[in-house]
């Protein structure tokens, strides 16, 4: 299978300003994902790495790491409301115009720096073995939150509506076993799904389980501090 690995890295970020270049153990955050992607590319001959960014500063850092960035993402698909599918399709179309086409896309977000090369290779193998029955794959970790039976949402008048029909039946935390949470570390999609449905994740994606300790997804300053504890500056 011919893979295009896209690392999305916008310059802007609200939760953690300059998130993709923030320093962790003396390295920019994006370097952790670049290392893994480039290691996988050495293992798989049909695996191309591309960084989708609107930032000249990020482009410079990426190119210094040996990964060329042939163009910057256009402004119209780079704002806070930009969707991942739009930048993925834009990248696929750019490659198509260069005469290169792919069977599948692997999306690796820099905000999941703890995923390993081994996990990426195993996820790819899992997806390829299930194709064409499966059109997408996401990585997950076990759900350890409160019982789903005690969750509410608000209606238009502020009244609480139980999320599940068996609300109040005495749910226990142990009954959450078998539930999983998407951790954002790895997304795999067939190119046919992307063009057919204009989405990255199908209605029933393959689930590839990762360890909780490898599933940190940086969204807040507290997440960044947790990561820095794991990689203290020398």
* Sheet containing 104-107: order of strands: 47-52, 3-8, 104-107, 180-190, 136-142, 206-209
**For the whole model, what pTM was predicted?**
0.89
- Mean pLDDT confidence for 54-77: 93
Q: What domains are there in the chain, each with its CATH number? A: 3-141+180-230 (3.90.550.10), 144-177 (no CATH)
Summarised one tens digit per residue, pLDDT across range 111-123 is: 999 999 999 999 9
Cα 92 to Cα 89: distance, rounded to the nearest angstrom: 5
Cα 132 to Cα 121: distance, rounded to the nearest angstrom: 18
Straight-line distance from the first to the last Cα atom of the chain, in angstroms, rounded to the nearest whole number: 41
Summarised one tens digit per residue, pLDDT across range 169-184 is: 655 555 556 789 999 9
Closest CA to 44 of 135, 125, 129: 125
Cα 87 to Cα 41: distance, rounded to the nearest angstrom: 21
CA distances to 40, 101, 149 from 45, in Å? 9, 15, 47
pLDDT at 74 over 80: yes
């Amino acid at each position: 299978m011919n893979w295009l690995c896209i690392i999305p890295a916008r310059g802007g970020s609200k939760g953690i300003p300059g998130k993709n270049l923030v320093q962790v153990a003396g390295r920019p955050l994006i370097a952790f994902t670049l290392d893994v992607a480039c290691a996988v590319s050495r293992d798989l001959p049909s695996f191309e790495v591309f960084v989708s960014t609107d930032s000249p500063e990020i482009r410079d850092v990426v190119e210094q790491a040996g990964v060329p960035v042939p163009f910057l993402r256009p402004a119209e698909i780079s704002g806070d409301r930009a969707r991942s599918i739009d930048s993925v399709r834009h990248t696929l179309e750019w490659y198509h115009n260069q005469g290169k086409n792919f069977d599948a896309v692997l999306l690796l977000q820099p905000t999941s720096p703890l995923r390993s090369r081994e996990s990426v290779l195993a996820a790819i193998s899992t997806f390829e073995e299930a194709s064409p029955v499966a059109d997408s794959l996401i990585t997950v970790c076990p759900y350890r939150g409160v019982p789903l039976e005690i969750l509410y949402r608000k209606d238009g008048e502020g009244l609480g509506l139980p999320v599940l029909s068996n609300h109040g039946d005495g749910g226990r935390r142990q009954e959450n076993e078998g539930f999983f949470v998407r951790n954002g570390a790895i997304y795999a999609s067939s190119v046919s799904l992307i063009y057919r449905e204009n989405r990255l994740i199908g209605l029933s994606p393959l689930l590839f389980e990762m360890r909780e300790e490898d599933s940190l997804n940086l969204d807040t300053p507290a997440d960044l501090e947790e990561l820095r504890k794991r990689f203290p500056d020398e």
